Amino acid sequence: MRAYSPDLYRHDISAETFVAFIDNLAVAEAPPAPLQALNVAGQAIGFVPHHWAQAASFGIGMAAGVGTAAVTRIRTQRFLEAVNRDFFGPRGLKVSICKGHDLAPRIGVGQLLPEIPPMDLRSQCISIRDRQMQSIAANIAPLSLDVPPPSEQRNIIDRLSAKQVESQIKKSEKSNRKELLKLREKDSKMARRSQGHSGGDSSDSSWEDEQRELDEKMQKIQRKADEKLADASPRQASRIEERRAKEMRKIEREQKKLDKEVEKKMSKASRKEDKKLSKDGRKAGRMEFVIVENI
């Protein structure tokens, strides 16, 4: 997430400088496999005239020949050590990376992060990242997404860094667009339904049709019985009431059956939503957050 907090300005850290740090941190965290081909890339990046690139070069020069799962972690650790020593430290700051499941106590919200809010069509807050950031906005410094584009130096590094990073970003963007489209379709469907134009083949419409049919049957039974009672003798009235009660009991059984089916569907939908929220929570727990704090 390329963002900048105006609070950093008083530490003499501009938006351009900070997002350059974010961009190069992404390079340091790139998957190690493609960087095995960059045995000379560390030197190439070292020629890029930017102190962030120099820090990234320091990490890659160590890692390019290792080829293990620890490469990314070690490369990132060395990158952070370099930027803390040479840039953030002299400004009285420290930067670190924190997993989502460890973030809550770091920002003073107890042991657990606030629950991720649902997707919001109006604000287009769709991705888990954006919704998680929305949930903790009150506990962190204000952020602005109005930041400079990647620098020329960053573009050079882009050509040397892993293709997986670009692929993952595109996959995430595609997923967000898909979720936004689904949310818009759901919102449009609900709007049509509220105006009485629900689709006849939907499960909700089917339930509404069955409920309407039961209501009409009930009204018909009551109406017929009342009409017959108008001219009935006491003996006939007793039979009419018995028949009415029998037919109403049948309607009640049908109503209970329908209510049970609806409750089952609602319970299934609720479990599905809970499962999705739980899945979103697990994904948020694996997310990484960049924390800048006072030493």
The per-residue pLDDT for range 69-125, each reduced to its tens digit, is 566 788 888 889 999 999 999 999 999 998 888 888 888 888 877 777 777 666 666
| pLDDT tens per residue, range 152-197 | 544 444 455 545 555 665 666 666 567 666 666 666 665 555 555 4
Please name the residue that has the structure tokens 């930017």.
50
Angstrom distance (rounded) from CA 207 to CA 218: 17
| pLDDT tens per residue, range 269-281 | 666 655 655 666 6
What is the sign, positive or negative, of the torsion defined by CA atoms of 265, 267, 273, 276? Answer: negative
Residue spans of the domains in the chain: they are: 6-117+141-167+289-294, 203-281
Q: Which band of pLDDT confidence, cut at 50, 70 and 90, is reported for residue 142?
A: very high
Which position has the higher pLDDT, 294 or 207? Answer: 294
Q: Which band of pLDDT confidence, cut at 50, 70 and 90, is reported for residue 258?
A: confident
pLDDT of residue 41: 42
Tokens of 244: 């009415």
Q: Is it the case that residue 198 has pLDDT exceeding 80? A: no
Q: Which amino acid is at 11?
A: H
Which position has the higher pLDDT, 208 or 60? Answer: 208
| pLDDT tens per residue, range 13-46 | 999 999 989 888 887 777 654 444 444 344 334 3
User: CA distances (Å), 47 to each of 2, 26, 51, 216, 257, in order?
Assistant: 24, 19, 10, 82, 75
pLDDT of residue 282: 73
